[in-house]
Amino acid sequence: MIVGVATESFPGERRVALVPDIVPLLKKRGFEVVVQAGAGQQAGFPDAAYEAKGATVLGTRDEVFAKAEIMAHVRVGGANPDAGQDDLPRYRDGQVVVGAADPFSHPDRIADLAARGVSAFGLELVPRTTRAQAMDILSSMATVAGYRAVLWAADRLPKFFPMFMTAAGTVAPARVFIVGAGVAGLQAIATAKRLGAIVSAYDIRPAVKEEIESLGGKFVEMELEGGEGEGGYAKEMDEEFYRRQREMMLKVVAANDVVITTAAVPGKKAPTLVTAAMVEGMAPGSVIVDLAAERGGNCELTKADEVVVVGGVTILGPTNVPSTLPFHASQMISKNMFNFLCNMLSKPKDRRDRDHVEAFDLEQEDDILEATWMTKGGEVIHPALLDVLATATGGPA
């Protein structure tokens, strides 16, 4: 099977779906790799690096799509809803398409892929199981986002993060509050702690208390229950829950120099957790980094991709954060992609079968393939996505 990698067309996207070091690993498993010239340039991977590792570099996008049996993308379908439409005529019946697809935000774009007859797989649909961890692109990119958010906050805050003992007196450490202790939040806790800040965190899932404390953070107790959904993700709650949560957070937010919000529910608008009143209560010079800006923001005053200053408080609303660290973000995506593609190879029914020959097999029984398979044979087949399409159209999908 030939895997194709084209330059990402989403505006400002600097990542690449496969890095050169993954190419020989794929070749050992029976895959060949073709790459569009310049596809990895913005992430720090020149064409020569791909060729040195055994990939074939092709001059045009059309050549890559025409030759590849599998297209590996960072963003596809709903994750690239506008520019991605230009690629629709390039896909062909039976081609396999793999990438982050944001299917529930833009289900119509997945239907467009189905109309081309491709078998499309959404990497953010990978189940949260032990076997699937190595393919979990959401966790990989959340790690990048949590780290980057703290660096942005430290850059904007007019204070040191760590405590300093100087001849001019003692400098108190910054106080950092993390809202949401998923992968991004935990990485933000760890990074802020390494920089010397006093870190506290809150999550609607009380089960994460031990994880927060293991990283040196203090878990902020709030008497709220019922926030953990299927697969360990936070679930969407009703407005009364969020109202009570905001009331409890008012004093906590005001006591901190930096607030980093990471609360997001897959496929839904981000809940508003930091109100204008909370921002008003923060000291001038304080910083909010809203990692949920791409889904509407956790802060009421956030504007996506803008810096807002209100009462001396700086509010950052970055989107596509992993693309700001494209080298390592691409490495992480590549390993996720490699593991996912290898999972498409047939598995021996008996582990002791040493004569088993791997072959590309989408029809095998596999929970990961089943969970991520969105389109097949000209139709959308993912049950949850069919429900979203039915709701959007007012009838059967």
Tens digit of each residue's pLDDT (9 = 90 or more) over 268-290: 889 899 999 999 999 999 999 99
Residue with tokens 């807002």: 308
Whether pLDDT at 267 is above 80: no
- Active-site amino acid positions: 128, 133, 136, 139, 233
Percent of the chain with pLDDT over 90: 82
45 contacts: CB under 8 Å, gap ≥ 6: 16, 19, 20, 327, 330
Q: Taking residues 219-247, what's their average pLDDT?
A: 65
Q: Which domains does the chain have, with CATH numbers?
A: 2-136+325-393 (3.40.50.720), 144-323 (3.40.50.720)
Please tell me the predicted confidence (pLDDT) of residue 394.
Answer: 64
Please tell me the predicted confidence (pLDDT) of residue 225.
Answer: 54
Whether pLDDT at 352 is above 90: no
322 contacts: CB under 8 Å, gap ≥ 6: 15, 141, 144, 145, 148, 329
Per the CB < 8 A criterion, the answer to whether 98 and 340 are in contact is yes
- Nearest residue to 267 (alpha-carbon basis) of 133, 397, 392: 392
Token pair listed for 32:
């060949």
Q: Taking residues 90-107, what's their average pLDDT?
A: 96
What letter does residue 157 receive in the DSSP assignment?
S
The predicted-structure confidence for 135-174, as pLDDT tens digits, reads as follows 999 999 999 999 999 999 999 999 999 999 989 999 999 9
- The predicted model scores a pTM of 0.90
- pLDDT-wise least confident of 175-179, 212-216, 344-348: 344-348
- pLDDT-wise least confident of 41-55, 92-106, 250-264, 348-362: 348-362
Q: List alpha helices for the chain, DSSP H.
A: 23-28, 47-52, 61-67, 107-115, 137-156, 183-194, 209-214, 239-254, 276-280, 326-343, 367-372, 383-393
Report CA-CA distances (Å) from 209 to 75, 186, 222. 33, 11, 12
Please tell me the predicted confidence (pLDDT) of residue 300.
Answer: 95
Helix (H) or strand (E) holding 176: strand 175-179
Please tell me the predicted confidence (pLDDT) of residue 236.
Answer: 58
Q: How far is CA 68 from the centre of its chain?
A: 25
What letter does residue 173 receive in the DSSP assignment?
P
The predicted-structure confidence for 364-374, as pLDDT tens digits, reads as follows 999 999 999 99
More confident residue, 265 or 123: 123
Average pLDDT, the chain: 92
Percent of the chain with pLDDT over 70: 94
